[in-house]
């Protein structure tokens, strides 16, 4: 895939910057400690060869982008070598109202301007629409996208948490190609696989992934990105307690057994499971701990066999194949 003049390999790991910027909420501003922590994580990601970064206007109420902006200011030479992707469309309204989704012209334009100002850059490589807004109006969305593309503030458009019908609707409304769909896919969230094998079988019941979405993306050059690909570490090192499901504990044991046998990290096995899927899923890893970021790179060192891949799926689902 090519974004602007930047070529992307067939498959890659994305660094997700949601963890940068200190605490959630906008009461406390970014601190020097947050900036140092961000520098360490981003230096590590870049040293590991990562060149694709995922952000969103709402992450830590914009503070994640402020920290990233500090890093870009310190390292201006990297801007043309990296892909910066951010998201708009969720409007934080604060307690007690919770969030709203907002695809109005003014919200989109103001949000993108806010992102660019926090990052200190004049363009985003990719803008993702974060979650679907049921009140999305064609004219508003098209006007916003026409303006963002014509002013060269964005180079490509993608979505997150959307099914294939919603992708087609946005493509039809805007006349623009959707280049990526970011979804929660992992060894914990296996419904994207189970719904393809669950016809006439109990495995196909109560699944939470829209049938046809994966296939649409694969057929139409919509690159698949997975958020929370490590399921926040539950299979690869996070301390589990009495409340943790037996399925998770059993899957973790298998992950560890495979990691030991192949001399790679458990994180590598969890990501390799995801990356073996022919949809060429690109994991968006979210750790800010240098050691964990480095361990994730083991995913490129290992290829699971067909049997190992199924063993992990069956264990995590706690159900045999039909």
DSSP states along 12-41: --EEE-TT-SSSSSSSSPP-HHHHHHHHHH
CB 244 within 8 A of CB 234: yes
Report residue 1 as tokens.
């895939």
The smaller minimum CB distance to ligand NAP, of residues 115 and 230, is found at: 230
Task: Please state the closest distance from residue 204 (CB atom) to ligand NAP, in A.
Answer: 25
Task: Please state the closest distance from residue 292 (CB atom) to ligand NAP, in A.
Answer: 5
DSSP states along 212-237: THHHHHHHTT-EEEEESTTGGGTTTT
The smaller minimum CB distance to ligand NAP, of residues 17 and 144, is found at: 17
Binding-site member from 13, 45, 52, 54 for ligand NAP (CB under 6 A): 54
- Interface stretch with ligand NAP, choices 24-32, 44-52, 285-293, 312-320 (CB under 6 A): 285-293
Binding-site member from 237, 248, 254, 299 for ligand NAP (CB under 6 A): 237
Binding-site member from 21, 22, 158, 233 for ligand NAP (CB under 6 A): 233
Binding-site member from 31, 75, 289, 319 for ligand NAP (CB under 6 A): 289
Task: Please state the closest distance from residue 196 (CB atom) to ligand NAP, in A.
Answer: 22
The smaller minimum CB distance to ligand NAP, of residues 190 and 287, is found at: 287
Our finding on whether 265 is near ligand NAP (CB under 6 A) is no
DSSP SS3 for 284 = strand
DSSP state of 186: S
Task: Please state the closest distance from residue 225 (CB atom) to ligand NAP, in A.
Answer: 8
The smaller minimum CB distance to ligand NAP, of residues 127 and 230, is found at: 230
CB 181 within 8 A of CB 160: yes
Our finding on whether 89 is near ligand NAP (CB under 6 A) is no
Task: Please state the closest distance from residue 310 (CB atom) to ligand NAP, in A.
Answer: 22
**Main-chain phi, psi angles of 82, to 5 degrees:** -115, 160
DSSP state of 154: B
The Cα–Cα gap between 16 and 12 comes to 13
- Residue closest to 277 by CA, chosen among 225, 204, 200, 237: 225
Residue holding tokens 């083991």?
298
Report residue 265 as tokens.
């990290």
Our finding on whether 275 is near ligand NAP (CB under 6 A) is no
Considering only residues 149 through 178, tell me which ones interact with ligand NAP, judged by CB under 6 A.
160-161
Our finding on whether 230 is near ligand NAP (CB under 6 A) is yes
Our finding on whether 238 is near ligand NAP (CB under 6 A) is yes
Our finding on whether 284 is near ligand NAP (CB under 6 A) is yes
User: How many residues in total does the chain contain?
Assistant: 322
Residue holding tokens 């919200």?
107
Our finding on whether 62 is near ligand NAP (CB under 6 A) is no
Considering only residues 3 through 42, tell me which ones interact with ligand NAP, judged by CB under 6 A.
16-19
CB 101 within 8 A of CB 56: no
DSSP SS3 for 178 = strand
The Cα–Cα gap between 223 and 290 comes to 27
Binding site for ligand NAP (CB under 6 A): 16-19, 54, 160-161, 182, 227-233, 236-238, 284-289, 292
């Amino acid at each position: 895939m090519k974004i602007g003049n930047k070529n992307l390999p067939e498959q890659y790991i994305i660094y997700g910057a949601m963890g940068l910027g200190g605490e959630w909420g906008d009461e406390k501003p970014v601190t020097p400690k947050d900036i140092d922590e961000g520098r360490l994580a981003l230096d590590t990601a870049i040293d590991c060869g990562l060149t694709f970064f995922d952000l969103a206007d709402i992450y830590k109420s914009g503070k994640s982008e402020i920290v990233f902006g500090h890093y870009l200011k310190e390292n201006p030479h990297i801007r043309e070598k990296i892909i910066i992707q951010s998201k708009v469309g969720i409007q934080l309204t604060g307690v007690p109202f919770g969030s709203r989704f907002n695809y109005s012209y003014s919200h989109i334009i103001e949000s993108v301007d806010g992102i660019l100002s926090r990052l200190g850059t004049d363009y985003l490589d990719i803008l993702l629409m974060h979650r679907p807004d049921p009140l999305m109006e064609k004219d508003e969305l098209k006007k916003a996208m026409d303006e963002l593309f014509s002013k060269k503030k964005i180079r490509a458009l993608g979505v997150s948490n959307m099914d294939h019908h919603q992708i087609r609707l946005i493509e039809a409304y805007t006349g623009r190609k959707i280049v990526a769909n970011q979804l929660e896919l992992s060894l914990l969230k296996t419904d994207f696989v189970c719904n393809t094998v669950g016809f006439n079988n109990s495995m196909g019941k109560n699944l939470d992934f829209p049938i046809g979405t994966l296939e649409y993306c694969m057929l139409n050059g919509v690159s698949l990105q997975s958020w929370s690909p490590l399921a926040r570490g539950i299979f690869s090192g996070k301390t589990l307690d009495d409340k943790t499901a037996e399925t998770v504990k059993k899957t973790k044991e298998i992950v560890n057994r495979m990691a030991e046998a192949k001399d790679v990290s458990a994180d590598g096995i969890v990501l390799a499971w995801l990356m073996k899927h022919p949809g060429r899923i690109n994991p968006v890893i979210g750790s800010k701990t240098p050691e964990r970021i480095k361990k994730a790179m083991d995913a490129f060192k290992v290829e699971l066999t067909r049997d190992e891949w199924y063993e992990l799926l069956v264990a995590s689902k706690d159900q045999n194949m039909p």
